[in-house]
Amino acid sequence: MSVLQLAAAPGSPEITSRAYRFGALTAVACAVVTLLTLAAVFAPAVAPYDPTQVDPSAVYQGPGGAHLLGTDDVGRDILSRLLYGARASLLGPAIVVVVAAVVGTLVAVSAAWIGGRFDAFVSRGLDVIFAFPGLVLAIVAVAVIGPGLMAPAAALSISYVPYIARVLRTAAIRQRNLPYIAALEVQGFGAAAICARHLVPNLLPLLIVQATVAFGYALLDLSAVSFLGLGTQPPAPEWGLMVANGQPSIVAGHLEQSLSAGLTIVIAVVAFNLLGQGLSRVFLGEDR
């Protein structure tokens, strides 16, 4: 059924127009994100091999045959490593986005609600964090805490707070000044109750859009950290780490590992970005 037929079909005009605005590209992005998530969750069930199983007899196998995407320099199945790698590669950004969203919302809403000097102080603080490159902060965190998933994820959580908080603060101030909030204040509701039950739910669409876009960027940043060898440690599979591991093989003419992991990262980041844009059109009726 084409979009035109959909639009002409009887039923809720709102849902139809939402479906229309969602668009084919967003649908693809949504499918990709879903597939990646499923891969991470069900990796043990769908992966054909153990991702850490070394097989000296099957080094540098090309794509096809027993190994769909080939094997790496020690004979590990690349597809299985990509599937298992989705776990660390998606868990990191998920931590970053959840922490940044929770902290960012708290910061934004309290700044918008209290206003005045507190708001000015918070806004300048966010500017300072915003000005500090997330990757540098992540590397510092690794130097202090040690390599692994947690140190860079914690550092990036902090540096992603302004991405969420700055946008949300503006929207929260707009909501704060609407009469429905004033009416609730006059009723005698406390600030916390008004924020939790009314203000934040009205910011939720914007929060979801911001978090989705931020997820893609966080994935890219964490992959970069792993590529540098500061994130997830071998032999555990992780996409950024696989790109780095495959580097020596490229010289030998075996592109499979780096290329497949790199492409997976690109596809994932683009998918989260497109999904964020699509959600923005649906929830907020705008392109960003």
Where does this chain bind other proteins (CB under 8 A)?
178-180, 182-183, 185-190, 197-198, 201-202
**Among residues 68 and 197, whose Cβ is nearest to other proteins?**
197
Beta bridge partners, 169, equal none
**Among residues 21 and 198, whose Cβ is nearest to other proteins?**
198
**Among residues 41 and 182, whose Cβ is nearest to other proteins?**
182
Q: Are 80 and 63 in contact (CB under 8 A)?
A: no
Q: Nearest approach, Cβ of 100 to other proteins (angstroms)? A: 24
Q: Are 75 and 57 in contact (CB under 8 A)?
A: yes
Q: Nearest approach, Cβ of 17 to other proteins (angstroms)? A: 14
Q: Nearest approach, Cβ of 115 to other proteins (angstroms)? A: 13
**Among residues 106 and 184, whose Cβ is nearest to other proteins?**
184
Q: Nearest approach, Cβ of 116 to other proteins (angstroms)? A: 13
Q: Nearest approach, Cβ of 190 to other proteins (angstroms)? A: 6
**Among residues 146 and 190, whose Cβ is nearest to other proteins?**
190
